[in-house]
Amino acid sequence: MSATRFDSDVKWIHVSGPEGLPYRIDHEYAVLGGNPETGVLDMLVRFAPDGHCPRHRHVAPTSTLVLEGEQHLRDTHEGQPRHRVRRAGDYALSDGNDLHLESGGPDGGLIYLSMHAREGHLFDVVDEDLNVVERVTIEGLLRG
């Protein structure tokens, strides 16, 4: 078993997006650990104030704990759109197949994610037409 102090020992990777989207991609993530053999990956995501991550679809069960600030989710489904807000201390468990746009609140946010994917496929990044543009896997995130 390994231990990490996320405030000093992890490698934060900044992600910003292309211009022209109706939202601003601006967040960082840090992989805390993972194991392709067991299908588990744990990570932190830190959103800039009102910063988003790209629209994506989770395909693996995911546990989320909001550590600081807020996590906003704008679900992309046929029919009525839904906007959910999770605040510091909120926990959620998803069975996968969630398609959403995710962001921090006005003061940003920090979330912990634990994803479980026996085949290693965690989520897909999609474009505005919901076409898959990137398949994200445990092995890919561990490689950095």
pLDDT tier, 81 (very low <50, low <70, confident <90, very high otherwise): confident
**Residue 16 neighbours by CB under 8 Å, 6+ apart:** 25, 26
What domains sit in the chain, N to C, each tagged with a CATH number? 39-116 (2.60.120.10)
10-19, 40-49, 76-85, 118-127: lowest mean pLDDT where?
76-85
Average pLDDT over every residue of 85-110: 93
Q: Can you give the pLDDT at residue 1? A: 43
Q: How many helices (H) and strands (E) does the chain have?
A: 1, 10
pLDDT tens digits for range 34-76 = 999 999 999 999 999 989 999 899 999 999 999 999 999 998 7
